[in-house]
Amino acid sequence: MSINARELKRLYELDGPQKTVRHLREAMNEGHLRPQDFSLRELAESLVPDGHDWVASLDPRRGGATLLEAGEGVDLTAFSNIAGQIVYTRIKEAFDAEDLVGSRLVDTIPTKFDGEKIPSVGQLGDKAEIVHPGMPYPHVGFGEDYIETPSTTKRGFIVPVTREAIFFDRTNLVLRNASMVGESLALNKEKRILDVIIGATNNYKWRGTAYDTYQTASPWDNVVASNALADWTNVDAVEQAFADITDPNTGEPILLRGNTLLVAPQLRATALRIVTATEVRSGDITAGSGTQTIGANPVSYYGVESSRLLKARLDAASIATSTWFAGDFRKAFAYMENWPITVTQAPPNSEAEFNQDIVMRFKASERGAAAVLEPRAVVKCTA
């Protein structure tokens, strides 16, 4: 599928702005069209009334007073709507294109609050009592249990489109700036998520008290020391750690089972070898004696995640890259999101238009914070 600026103008006149932009967005999301398929100059010449004259008026080489300015009777609505969708798509593509391991590992929870208290009730444990014939059932009391998520933060940039960018058709420059904005926002979000996962940032607050994510004693112990990743027995040590973690309200074991190993690139090959092995062998048959037992891989249900950025964040926090993590990361962490990557357009006739020759401006932002929901669901292992 391809479409030129004139066809886009015809669709705009027939279907109206909302429907045309929606079709354009769908075509780009499905990969039928790309932002690079369009030219800012051609769009302006086709979509702006008397577009050729208006684009000619943008020539910075023209001398004297320019009578045809964007804020003086020139309708840029169609051009702005289409250009806005193109810039947004490029920002979103770059935001989603990175290898974002941390973002894949955690759920995104929409929230309207700048940090919130998430209530729950303490588990009952084994409180079931015998009810004799004719006797009333006992009542159950629930203890208050809650966590507090951290305050969210807003990050963003502005992508300007200057008169020179339109006249000289520097479409690639505008799209490159849009791409850099998306990549930068994605990188920043990923770093914040990884810092929370590895314990470089500790923001877990339970029942009004702040705790580090990884503890070596009460109220929970989710650190296994001297457990360098070498074979399946090291993963089994994580499972034994989970077996020892108890519910703080009842003292009963928590039903936890890990499903993911998070490792730096140095351990990726080792981790994959461990979880994809088709069999494990134990015992000694040296010198023609002894017994060797062959069995199925007991930790094959684990997946492996790794990234170069994880190594960088471990280094930045002075954590050895031989440290690795295992557990259910979606249960342990989340990204509390006020709004996802969002692009808004500045209104016309702004001061920037006159002072800086900026015809259009697009502001990209996102707001949220990585949070610890249940630290008992992940174990940290050191070598």
Instruction: Using the predicted structure, report yes or no on whether residue 222 has a pLDDT greater than 90.
Output: yes
pLDDT at 230 (0 to 100): 97
Q: Which residues make beta-bridge pairs with 372? A: 333
Per-residue pLDDT at 361 exceeds 50: yes
Of 372, 334, 377, 364, the C-alpha closest to 111 is 334
Reported as a pLDDT band with limits 50, 70 and 90, residue 117 is very high
Q: Where are the alpha helices (DSSP H) in the chain?
A: 5-15, 17-29, 40-47, 51-57, 77-97, 101-105, 163-167, 171-198, 232-244, 265-276, 308-316, 329-332, 351-355
| Structure-model confidence comparison of residues 22 and 375, the more confident one | 375
Per-residue pLDDT for 74 more than 90?
no
Arithmetic mean of pLDDT over the chain: 87
Domain edges within the chain: 220-336+373-381
- Backbone angles phi and psi of 282, in degrees to 5: -140, 155
Between 20 and 316, the higher pLDDT residue: 316
- The structure's pTM equals 0.86
Higher pLDDT among residues 59 and 183, named by residue:
183
